[in-house]
Structure 1
Amino acid sequence: MLFLDCAVAATCQPFGLDRRAVEPKRAGGAAGGTRQREEHSARERGSTGIVSSGIRQLGPYRLTNLVYSGATTQLWKAVHDATGVTYALKMLVHRAAKDRSQIAYLKREYEFRRRVLDDNLINILEYRVEQGTPFLVIEWCPWPNMKSWIQEGLDCYRPIIRQMIFGATEAVAAMHRQKYVHRDIKPDNFLVSPQGQVKLIDFALAKKTGGLFSRFFGGAPKIQGTASYISPEQIRKKPLDGRADLYSLACTFFELTTGRPPFTGSSQSELLTKHLKAPPPSAETVNPEVSPQFSQLLIKALAKNPNDRFRSVPEFFGELHSVPIFKNDPTPAPAAVF
């Protein structure tokens, strides 16, 4: 597969997996960038999952390649024996297979995707348990995630960046139309084709908005999300609506156009404090090629108070249609109906 003459890193995986509460940087460096996980190679982690048991078949699915192995989940490429169709199996490793909270995350992803039907979201076909192993059957999508494109450098994906931004916005809006918030929008959770087509993944934190319970009893019992992209209201554990995802989407687009997230810190505490109190930076200041119009859109979407942002992702999308992303871009066509 060609990636606009840029080599995609061999470590790039098509699906994001373990994400729960925000986590601190494990050792050294800034806390900016992707949410830190205890990730090791498949070889190092294989002993905790299916590999050590010698299981290479789960029901009708024949496991062919271990794609990713994390603290609680593994992702396998698998083939359905009867149809020959390739799927991704996201399964709990042995020590998590009996953990009710981890099982609940898997079931939540499946139930969400069963209710919300949209081509911009990765498809989850079923949840099942075979040989004591809970797993999801997911459509196989071999595209790199947006974070991998960013790591390759802006020149690699600049020809398709507008399609990337529009596709990601459309995917988030699809969730919001059906009254769900994702709560973990970030570059890792968008798969992007060489042509700029986008699919949103990882729905374990997806939550229905506007319910009676959330209005009276507040938000999550603990901070959930990824520290570099989390909204102030998530940090404060307030009830959420689509504007929380909009904030995270603006963080994502800031990184997509500048190469770094809007806020970084030497610790998780410092990073979260910046989300709460630091003025949003200008993307144009970080990358002078970014247009002032696009930079101002991001600044508004990054407002600390949700009431100071766009009222919704569709409103943001409407404004997005009319501005150039970079200063030397041609004048955009008239806005399409969203």
Structure 2
Amino acid sequence: MAEASESTPQSTQVGEYQLVTPIAKGNLTEIWEATEPGGRTVALKMLTPEARKRSDLVSMLKHEVKVCKGLEHPNLVPVRKFIKTKEHVCVVMDLVKSPTLKSAMGQDLLDVHSRLIRLVEGIGLSLGYMHSKGWIHNDIKPDNILFTKGGEVRLIDFSLCMKAPTGVNAIFAAGGISAIRGTRTYIAPETIQKKYPTFQTDIYSLGVTMFEVLTGQVPYTANTPNDLLRKHLAAKIPPPSSLNENVSPEGDRLITKMMSKQPAKRHKTVDEVVAEMRSTKFFIKTPEELVKEREEKIAKEKAGDSIAVRLDSRADAERGGINAPSTRKPPKPKPAVPPPQPAAPPVAQQPVAQPPVAQPPVSQPPVSQPPVSQPPVSQPPVSQPPVAAPPPVQTPVPATPVQQPPVAQPPVQPAPAPVQPPPVSQPPVAPQPVVQQPPVAPPPAATPPPQPTSPPVTGQQPLAPAASADATQPKPAENQPAQEEEQKKTIQNVGKGAISAEEAKNLPVMGMDELPDIL
């Protein structure tokens, strides 16, 4: 029977009993913990909804109550009461919170071996008591034996019990049985042959159970149920030592006798079995010795793993200094790591401070260049004097002579000491150099000098750069009289037709205020 699932019946009340929690669940039955009206805890063995439809299973529960009425033994779990309602069919049993022998073997087989004698004695006492009352259990197996840590044994599940063929029952037993009942893995050959069971039938099933206790495996396995039954009938009995080398020859002989194919070759009673088991040394090495060897082996494996890890250089990083042979401590180098971190910010700040210093000079040239680059852009249209150049030029020029005298005089007074006042002191001449030098080459050469001199002449944005550009020319003041004289002659020749029109286009444009005087 497997562990119980979380499923709960439709009603938690079964008669006068209150269901508490599921304990185990099988294909046909469920075991529940419940409480009776007085508060005492009991166990309810209930048929599943599908099993309730089968009358033979209902009769088996009734039969189980009948069997246990006359049985009272500390190694038995008796059935007290039968209950049948619209929703439930169950029996009431004493609650024993103990694992089955099957689960105990699965958890620790060596621990079961160390308590083997107590196990054999408990089974022998309970089964011998039933035989003495004339009952054959007919389903001895590890799942029907409760085995506590303290070595207490309880026999359960009496649904397949049958009366021994004695007295009047022997007459009915001669006809055999109509159906095979029992668990195929532990069933006796005579039951498979539908012969009436005897006390030796329980001894055979007990022999298969002891085989599994000694080896941890069952003697026969097969792919189909029928093949398994055939092996019980005809297959050779395997000695337990074939699966567990620690089983002694004495143990092999005892189990082989209990599992004999013919009931007459088995032990006559369970008491004989228990007596022989007490005098039999089942193991070559005692379970206590094997437990000690197992613990030492586990300790050596752990020690070997520890040594292997120590010798593995790749594990140094994982150890992090723990259990390492070196005496150096890793935490000490850690304080030395932080000092470089504060020193890094000053280094990073210096390059950050330098870009702002370098940016002002870079940004100033673009600001000062636009006024210098504008004159060449505006001069190309001046090369067309006959068409439209004179009118636009006349509008800004007349205003300049009026503003130039007052603007030119202030710079002359504060700037006698510097060398640059002379070019600034002649405002009328400022427009002429701009007109005479249309090429772009002079402005780039004059870009650096105009920066210091341009601030005084702030009112004349177009004139200041022109004057500064002209200041770069060597001695402009000395050549002015000659240039003016040459311009007058040129104009006179133009009026007389002495030069061609193409040559006239290349002549410099003069101010409107000078034309009347020349002409």
Q: Shorter chain as normaliser: what TM range?
A: 0.7 to 0.9
Q: For 1:65, which of 21, 38, 41 is the aligned residue?
A: 21
Q: Deviations over 1:17-45 (max 9, x none)?
A: xxxxxxxxxxxxxxxxxxxxxx79624xx
Q: Is the 8 A contact 2:15 2:83 kept in 1?
A: no
Q: For 1:76, which of 32, 47, 51 is the aligned residue?
A: 32
1:163 Cα offset (Å): 0.9
The amino acid that maps onto 2:140 is I
1:98 Cα offset (Å): 4.4
Is residue 295 from structure 1 mapped to residue 241 from structure 2 by the alignment? no
Q: Deviations over 1:55-89 (max 9, x none)?
A: 1112321101122333332211101232x211110
Is residue 231 from structure 1 mapped to residue 188 from structure 2 by the alignment? yes
For 2:3 and 2:148, the matched residues in 1 are separated by 26
The amino acid that maps onto 2:74 is D
Number of the residue aligned with 1:8: none
Number of the residue aligned with 1:152: 107
C-alpha RMSD over aligned residues: 1.9
Superposed, 1:322-333 pairs within 5 Å as 322-329=279-286
Q: For 2:146, which of 158, 172, 191 is the aligned residue?
A: 191
Number of the residue aligned with 2:304: none
Task: Judging by fraction of residues, say which structure has more strand.
Answer: 1
Is residue 42 from structure 1 mapped to residue 5 from structure 2 by the alignment? yes
Structure 2 counterpart SS, 1:137: strand
Report the TM-score, using the length of structure 1 for normalisation: 0.79
Following TM superposition, where does structure 1 have runs of at least 4 consecutive aligned residues deviating by more than 6 angstroms?
Answer: none
The amino acid that maps onto 2:238 is P
Is residue 274 from structure 1 mapped to residue 274 from structure 2 by the alignment? no
For 2:37 and 2:104, the matched residues in 1 are separated by 33
Is residue 128 from structure 1 mapped to residue 83 from structure 2 by the alignment? yes
Q: Which has the higher contact order (CA 8 A, sep 6+)?
A: 1
Instruction: Pick closer, same or farther for the CA change 1:61–1:283 going to 2, 3 Å.
Output: same
Structure 2: segments with no counterpart, 5+ residues: 288-519
1:151 Cα offset (Å): 1.2
Structure 2 counterpart SS, 1:97: helix
Q: Deviations over 1:96-148 (max 9, x none)?
A: 33432111010111110112222211121211224552211111111110110
1:249 Cα offset (Å): 0.1
Number of the residue aligned with 1:215: 173
Number of the residue aligned with 1:181: 136
Task: Judging by fraction of residues, say which structure has more helix.
Answer: 2
For 2:141 and 2:172, the matched residues in 1 are separated by 24
For 1:230 and 1:168, the matched residues in 2 are separated by 17
Instruction: Pick closer, same or farther for the CA change 1:40–1:195 going to 2, 3 Å.
Output: closer
Q: Is the 8 A contact 1:58 1:131 kept in 2?
A: no
Is residue 140 from structure 1 mapped to residue 85 from structure 2 by the alignment? no
Number of the residue aligned with 2:243: 286
Is residue 200 from structure 1 mapped to residue 155 from structure 2 by the alignment? yes
Q: Is the 8 A contact 1:153 1:259 kept in 2?
A: no
* Greater shift in the superposed pair: 247-256 or 321-330: 321-330
For 2:147 and 2:172, the matched residues in 1 are separated by 33
Q: Is the 8 A contact 1:282 1:295 kept in 2?
A: yes
Structure 1 counterpart SS, 2:106: helix
Number of the residue aligned with 2:61: 106
Q: Is the 8 A contact 2:100 2:147 kept in 1?
A: yes
For 1:146 and 1:307, the matched residues in 2 are separated by 28
Number of paired residues?
284
Number of the residue aligned with 1:9: none
The amino acid that maps onto 1:42 is S
For 2:232 and 2:50, the matched residues in 1 are separated by 34
* Identical amino acids, percent of aligned pairs: 32
Instruction: Pick closer, same or farther for the CA change 1:310–1:105 going to 2, 3 Å.
Output: same
